[in-house]
Amino acid sequence: MPLEKISQVSGSAVYVPGDDIDTDRIIPARFMKCLTFDGLGEYLFYDMKFHENGEQKDHPLNDALYQNASVMLTGMNFGCGSSREHAPQSLFRAGFRAVIAGNFAEIFFGNSINLGMPCVSVSNDVRNSIAEWVGENPSGQVLVDIKDLKVRAGDHSFTCDLRPGARDSLLNGAWDPLDELLEANHAIESIHGNLAYT
């Protein structure tokens, strides 16, 4: 089945402030004791959202105003740390379809694109402006335009960045590379045979 061509994502947004939000915060390791990714959405930011006694903490994802958010806005170096795909999977399964951040840690970025979840970067000023708009319009629609590299919120339009390869894969519906990788059968066989090691 061909993959969906993703040229834009829109939905209400939530701002989760902070730089260097690591994968252990996005999904604590104890929730990775599982054989499938099903159900991981429930544990997104678990220790940021709940005290150890199960009481809710003051966190934007606990705020009733943002329960339907599908676009996450956050700070610099989002997703640093582990290579666990569990992190973008938990975001995706909690309903998120795009992340806007200052920038992203490399492996997290790649894992997210492979799921068809665009990750676009914005400057600090733009992040602050979008955050302010989202604060004033919690159910307002934020549109992440992959084609034009813009984030649109109400009457505002901001520039965002997405590296060309990732952008093309989303626009062309080629964000999951497996089918294309499988096609190179002979070239794979040739490298396998020519390598000095098995």
Partner 1 sequence: MTKQNLFEKVWDAHAVGELQNGQTQLFVGRHLIHEVTSPQAFGMLREKNLPVRYPERTFATVDHIVPTNETQEPYSDPLADAMIKELRKNCSDFGVTFFDTDTGKQGIVHVVGPEQGLTQPGMTIACGDSHTSTHGAFGAIAFGIGTSQVRDLLATQTMALGKLKVRRIEVNGSLKSGIYAKDVILHIIKLLGVNGGTGYAYEYAGDVFDSFSMEERMTACNMSIEGGARAGYVNPDAKTYAYLKGRPYSPNDNDWDDAVSKWASFGSDEGCHYDDVVKIDAADIGPTVTWGINPSQAIGIDESIPDPALAQTKDRASIEEAIEYMKISPGAPIKGTPIDVAFIGSCTNGRISDLEEVASQLNGHKVKDGIKAIVVPGSQVVSKLAEEKGLDKIFRDAGFEWRFAGCSMCLAMNPDKLIGDQLCASSSNRNFKGRQGSPTGRTMLMSPTMVAAAAITGVITDSREVFSA
Nearest distance from C-beta of residue 136 to partner 1, angstroms = 22
Stretch that binds partner 1, among 62-70, 101-109, 137-145, 148-156 (CB under 8 A): 101-109
Q: Taking the CB of residue 161, how many other CB atoms lie within 10 A of it?
A: 11
CA distance 59 to 168: 35
Q: What are phi and psi of 155, to 5 degrees?
A: -85, -5
CA distance 174 to 166: 9
Nearest distance from C-beta of residue 72 to partner 1, angstroms = 18
Q: Where are the beta strands (DSSP E) in the chain?
A: 8-16, 71-74, 98-101, 119-121, 141-145, 150-153, 156-159
- Kindly state the DSSP code that residue 96 receives in the 8-state scheme: -
CA distance 14 to 172: 28
Of 64 and 193, CB closest to partner 1? 193
Residues 103-162 that bind partner 1 (CB under 8 A): 103, 105-107, 110-111, 114-115
Nearest distance from C-beta of residue 176 to partner 1, angstroms = 7
Nearest distance from C-beta of residue 26 to partner 1, angstroms = 10
Which one, of 61, 143, 130, lies nearest residue 102 by Cα? 130
29 binds partner 1 (CB under 8 A): yes
192 binds partner 1 (CB under 8 A): yes
- Kindly state the DSSP code that residue 28 receives in the 8-state scheme: -
Choose which of 4, 5, 20, 157 interacts with partner 1 (CB under 8 A): 20
- Interaction pattern, residues 37-76, with partner 1; x per rule: CB under 8 A: x---------x----x-----------------------x
33 binds partner 1 (CB under 8 A): yes
With a CB cutoff of 8 Å and minimum separation 6, the contacts of 136 are: none
> How big is the site for partner 1, counted in residues (CB under 8 A)?
58
1 binds partner 1 (CB under 8 A): no
| Contact by Cβ (8 Å): 22, 81 | yes
Give the interface with partner 1 as residue ranges (CB under 8 A).
18-20, 22, 24-25, 28-30, 32-37, 47, 52, 76-77, 80-86, 88, 103, 105-107, 110-111, 114-115, 163-166, 168-169, 172, 174, 176-178, 180-182, 184, 187-188, 191-192, 195-198
